[in-house]
A and B are shown apart, each in its own frame.
Chain A
Amino acid sequence: MNRDVPEWPEAVYFFGTCLVDLFFPEAGLAGMELLKSQGIRVIFPPDQSCCGQPARNNGRPDEARAVARQQIKSFPKAIPIVVPSGSCAGMMREHYPELFVGQPDEAQARAFSARVYELTWFLVHVCRMRLTDHGRPVKVAFHASCHSRREMGVHEEPRQLLRALANVTLLDLQRPAECCGFGGTFSVKQPDISGAMVRDKVADVTAAGADELLSGDCGCLMNIAGAMDKAGSPVRARHIAEFLLERSHEC
């Protein structure tokens, strides 16, 4: 993505996202460990909760703004905010400015948005992370979330990180840019369509012959991993941060 690369920061904030916080905390922790391994002080503000995207996407801008304000208040210092989700990062970076148009705190919201970074983008462009692979040979597929790809422009960075691992074979999916069918409340408002989409995604991953499916977004992961589990698939699904952390550890 064409975006100015900030200078190497001494410290960053970590915004865990509500989904990671409640369902996939190990993904968040791995993201924090990766940043820490780059010599960066990682701050986890305890008053953080959710980016507000569910309310915004369901036509509730007032509620979304209230939730957004809670985050803006919780990340006061002028340091980067790193997010282990392209979708939540996209909400905070792309949609806060439009959500706060004409509001008294529009300037604060804009300043906040400008500090938001997706985790893998940050690792590649700011940390220039070097990876040493300590894991056994494995075949993986990567699923970039639609918002990571289309709002944050992040889909090459995670692949770049994975390609740097000597024993990891990165497989191509037949339809890498197609939505997995999650879409937040879409998955329960249109369960049949969403279900058809995720079954197709699972078939794509299976056909690719992957041992593991990785993603930078826990919404997609909850969806795809849930469908794989229900279908009895042996493919393991997890956040790319967990995978990278595990591979970079000496056995």
Chain B
Amino acid sequence: MSAEPRQSDFTGKARIALDDPKLRANFRRAMDGLMAKRGAQFADPVEWAALRARGIAARAGSLARLPELLEQLERRCAENGIQVHWAETTQEANAIVLDILQAAGARRVIKGKSMVSEEMHLNAHLNAHGIATMESDLGEYIIQLAGEAPSHIVMPCIHKNKAEVAALFADRIPGQPYTEDVDQLTAAARRALRGAFASADAGISGVNFAVAETGTLVLIENEGNGRLSTTLPPLHIAVTGIEKVLERLDDLPPLLSLLSRSATGQPITTYVNMITKPRQPGELDGPTAVHLVLLDNGRSRVYCDPELRDTLRCIRCAACMNHCPVYTRVGGHTYTFTYPGPIGKILTPQIEGLDCAGEQPHASSLCGACAEVCPVGIPIPQLLVRLRQEAVSPTSTAVKGGGTGGSLMETLIWRATTLMFTSPRLYGAGSRLMGWFGHLAPAWLPGLDRWTRTRSKPKFAAKSLHRLAKERGYPDA
């Protein structure tokens, strides 16, 4: 099993990604397309605002009652014949899935797309115990062949272009010639996958929404692989985070609309799977056993803080990353952990700890493009600032790995600037000194050198606006 890296090294990986023109072109082109498609879906600002308000109400309302709704979900699922398992950590979740598979004697697993299984590093765990896993989502299939992690939560192989996929298939699929014809590439994957669906002992999927009222697992997709993974094999295991619960079935329509339109610009996905029971007597298909694994992995701690809780509203549409000027330039792998982009920058430090992903909340210009398009209104820039605050607070215990007080040097710098900005006399003296001597600062000065790598040195004005206003006779009261 691959060990989770302790440090995200966002800055180092970003530098490598920025120097890769092909990678940058792949992301730019893909994100431009996704932004245009989403924009076309929400051309009517009034309809967008009304639908978004319903989405926010559904998600925030369900989160407000999360503990009781989870218990209700468990009861309803049990009544329907779905076995529910609780996992506090990813290790526990992996062990639960392995136990179920081993008890059923399963050796081959077909997987629908699931970011929570990525969070668990489930494939590696199962492979280490002799169970073969095959990803059936086309994008996931491609990156599994390449031995890579998803770079995007909806389009896992968006970092690759057609030629790269063609070369990969020719290299890894026996008998596959090099072709950049998309239909032929898709057909090659389809041939490989059809056999795997038919011979799988178990299917593993994620969950988009778990409806507490009815005990229904909702799974949306476009390729039919989700439906095949959850209906063809005799055993289906769904894995999901505890935050995916919805109170009522009625909450679903606005959220499905928001999710598919925000994610891919589709009015609705090709498949909407609603799984409520295993195969019933007399039915001809469907798995005979269905399990639901509910993963916490730090989410309860996020839930406990009323402000940070908004993080859990996320419906994983990826609109935030599609619109993020940072993500577009550095790509998903730069974020190291499972969830990239703006949502990753607020979720990862809370789950993994500010001590190992603490630079991520700072890797944002706070431009707000993410919050503008978030279909469930997560105030991402606000939460980025909150996490920056948690990291340097000397006392707070709200976030794992936070409350360390930050660097003494930075603290001293902020104290000094505060002193200057709260004392008109100091500020006046400081601005005069900078006007006289500011130009003497060498461009290589630490801090300034980071600015002058791309830009000229800023020039302090000889006379401040304070002085000019006075000279021009503007009244001061």
Using a CB–CB distance below 8 Å, which chain A residues touch chain B?
A: 14, 16, 18, 20-26, 28-29, 32, 41-47, 49-50, 52, 54-61, 63, 66-67, 69-70, 98, 146-147, 150-151, 177-179, 181-199, 222-223, 226-227, 229-230
Contact = CB atoms under 8 A, between A and B. Distances in A.
Interface in B390-408: 390-393, 406
Contacts of B389: 59-61
A66 B421 CA distance: 9
A173 B125 CA distance: 49
B414 A192 contact: no
Q: Which of B372, B469, B470 has the most CB of A within 10 A?
A: B469
Given A47-B424, A195-B454, A67 B418 contact: yes
Q: Which of A20, A47, A189, A196 has the most CB of B within 10 A?
A: A196
B186 interface: no
A46 B461 contact: no
Interface in B370-395: 371-372, 382, 385-393
A28 B455 contact: no
Those 8 A-B pairs whose CB atoms lie nearest each other, nearest first? A183-B365, A226-B455, A59-B388, A195-B454, A59-B389, A179-B367, A146-B367, A25-B465
Given A24-B461, A32-B474, A229 B18 contact: no
A70 B476 contact: no
Contacts of A194: 365, 454
Given A18-B421, A57-B388, A193-B363, A45 B477 contact: yes
9 contacts: A43-B477, A55-B418, A58-B414, A59-B387, A70-B422, A146-B366, A150-B368, A188-B450, A197-B326
Contacts of B365: 146, 179, 181-184, 186-187, 194, 197
Nearest to B455: A226
A63 B366 contact: no
Nearest to A41: B475
Q: Which of A197, A227, A229 has the most CB of B within 10 A?
A: A197
B15 A192 contact: yes
B414 A29 contact: no
Contacts of A45: 476-477
Given A66-B421, A150-B368, A197-B325, 19 more contacts: A14-B469, A22-B460, A28-B469, A43-B476, A44-B476, A50-B421, A57-B366, A59-B389, A60-B414, A61-B389, A63-B414, A63-B415, A146-B369, A151-B368, A182-B365, A193-B330, A195-B453, A226-B456, A230-B452
B392 A60 contact: yes
B259 interface: no
Q: Which of A61, A150, A192, A223 has the most CB of B within 10 A?
A: A192
A248 to B, nearest CB: 17
A3 to B, nearest CB: 17
Q: Which of A24, A58, A198, A227 has the most CB of B within 10 A?
A: A58
A77 to B, nearest CB: 8
B451 A191 contact: yes
A210 B128 CA distance: 60
Contacts of A181: 325, 365
B11 interface: yes
Contacts of A60: 389, 392, 414
B110 to A, nearest CB: 39
A193 B24 CA distance: 12
A44 B469 contact: yes
A107 to B, nearest CB: 21
A186 B406 CA distance: 17
Given A59-B389, A63-B418, A191-B450, A22 B431 contact: yes
Q: Is the interface of B mostly helix, strand, loop or mixed?
A: helix
A16 B465 contact: yes
Given A183-B365, A188-B450, A28 B385 contact: no
B42 interface: no
A18 B456 CA distance: 19
Given A186-B366, A190-B14, A227-B455, A69 B422 contact: yes
Contacts, number: 201
A145 to B, nearest CB: 9
A59 B390 contact: yes
Contact of B362 (A43, A70, A190, A199): A190
A22 B460 CA distance: 6
A196 B334 CA distance: 15
A56 B385 contact: yes
Nearest to B467: A25
A37 to B, nearest CB: 13
A66 B454 contact: no
B43 interface: no
Nearest to B435: A22
Nearest to A195: B454
Given A45-B476, A63-B414, A194-B365, A23 B458 contact: yes
A169 B367 CA distance: 27
A42 B420 CA distance: 25
A230 B455 contact: yes
A146 B421 contact: no
A177 B365 CA distance: 13
B464 interface: yes
B450 A198 contact: no
Interface string B433-454: 0110000000000010011111
B364 A183 contact: yes
B468 interface: yes
A66 B420 CA distance: 11
Contact of A227 (B14, B15, B454): B454
Nearest to B452: A230
Nearest to A25: B465
B191 interface: no
B455 A198 contact: yes
Contacts of B455: 195, 198, 222-223, 226-227, 229-230
A50 B453 CA distance: 26
A46 B470 contact: yes
B282 to A, nearest CB: 57
A22 B369 contact: no
B89 interface: no
Contacts of A52: 421
